[in-house]
């Protein structure tokens, strides 16, 4: 009666979707959510509305799907963020996929400031972010990766990460960035590798006056030590890169840079 091997249990997979449309005056025009994907709008006073996305599954593993969408209509302003850091766990069955779609109308302003993605040993993660924005709109984009859990002394040796970001501005491609991180990249030194860094971030600004803000941003970037950072500006955009040996110093440096670019407070969930 014990000769046959029981089949492997089919694990439940995450299928979460959430999105919102913000109209003029910060009015919520539409909100939707499904499965583990949630979108919340905390009560704000004297600030642009904040749309806070949350994955109630508590993390992602192979086969999971998560999709967020945020549209800011013409003349409106909003901040998009996540309630906490997302976690990519060990995967034994393909990659988890996260898709984000952002739309910014004419004269609108969107600051997309999600918290970190923490990548665990053995994680497989495929992320895609796509933006369509008007030429006179303002967009701030932040993406932060933390490789491993410092408190547990974890140093990653096996991951499969792909990340693609695309910005279409006034109908033309303004930015395409695609990265792939695997085991070899974790140990590779030099400009093409991480050189031991465990936390990295990219902060971008697209706006008609973007280059005018470059000097102000550079003034708050760390000059060395635990975090290395540099920024450049051209053609209505700024891109700043950060690398660090620890996650917390990077978070502090990024927060300072975000406040410099936006001239406003951080999302409220960042401060709790």
Q: Per-residue confidence at 271, pLDDT binned at 50, 70, 90?
A: confident
Average pLDDT over residues 63-70: 95
Which pLDDT does position 5 carry in this prediction? 44
pLDDT, greater one: 187 or 247: 247
Contact 48, 26 (CB under 8 A): yes
What is the residue-averaged pLDDT of the chain? 89
CB 127 within 8 A of CB 101: no
Report whether pLDDT(137) > 80: yes
Q: Which of 35, 22, 40 is nearest to 269 (CA)?
A: 40
Q: How far apart, in Å, do the first and last CA atoms of the chain sit?
A: 56
Q: From CA 110, how far away is CA 205, in angstroms rounded?
A: 10
More confidently predicted of 36 and 189: 36
The pLDDT of 14-32, averaged and rounded, is: 94
Query: Would you say residue 71 has pLDDT above 70?
Result: yes
Tell me the pLDDT tens digit for each residue of 141-178. 999 999 887 666 677 778 889 999 999 999 999 999 99
Q: Is the per-residue pLDDT at 245 higher than 70?
A: yes
- Average pLDDT value for residue range 9-34: 87
Residue 9 has pLDDT above 60, yes or no: no
Nearest of 14, 128, 27 to residue 63 by alpha carbon: 14
What is the predicted pLDDT for the residue at 216? 95
Residues 102-107 have a mean pLDDT of 98
Radius of gyration of the chain (CA): 19
């Amino acid at each position: 009666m014990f000769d046959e091997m029981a089949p492997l249990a089919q694990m439940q997979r995450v299928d979460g979707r959430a999105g919102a449309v913000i109209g003029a005056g910060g009015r919520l025009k539409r909100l939707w959510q499904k499965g583990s994907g949630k979108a919340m709008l905390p009560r704000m006073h004297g600030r642009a509305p904040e749309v806070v996305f949350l994955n109630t599954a508590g993390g992602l593993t192979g086969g999971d799907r998560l999709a967020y969408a945020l549209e800011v209509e013409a003349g409106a302003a909003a901040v998009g963020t996540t309630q906490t850091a997302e976690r990519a766990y060990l995967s034994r069955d393909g990659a988890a996929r996260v898709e984000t779609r952002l739309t910014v109308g004419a004269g609108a302003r969107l600051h997309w400031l999600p918290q970190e993605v923490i990548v665990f040993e053995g994680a497989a993660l495929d992320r895609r972010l796509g933006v369509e924005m008007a030429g006179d709109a303002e967009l701030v984009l932040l993406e932060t990766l933390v490789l491993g859990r410092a408190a547990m002394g974890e140093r990653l040796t096996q991951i499969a990460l792909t990340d693609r970001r695309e910005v279409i501005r006034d109908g033309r491609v303004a930015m395409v960035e695609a990265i792939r991180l695997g085991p070899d990249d974790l140990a590779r030194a030099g400009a093409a590798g991480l050189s031991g860094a465990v936390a990295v971030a990219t902060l971008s600004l697209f706006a008609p006056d973007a280059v005018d803000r470059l000097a102000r941003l550079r003034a708050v970037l760390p000059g060395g030590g635990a975090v290395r950072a540099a920024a450049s500006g051209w053609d209505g955009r700024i891109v700043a890169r950060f690398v660090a040996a620890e996650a917390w110093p990077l978070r502090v440096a990024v927060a300072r840079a975000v406040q410099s670019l936006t001239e406003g407070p951080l999302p409220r969930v960042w401060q709790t």
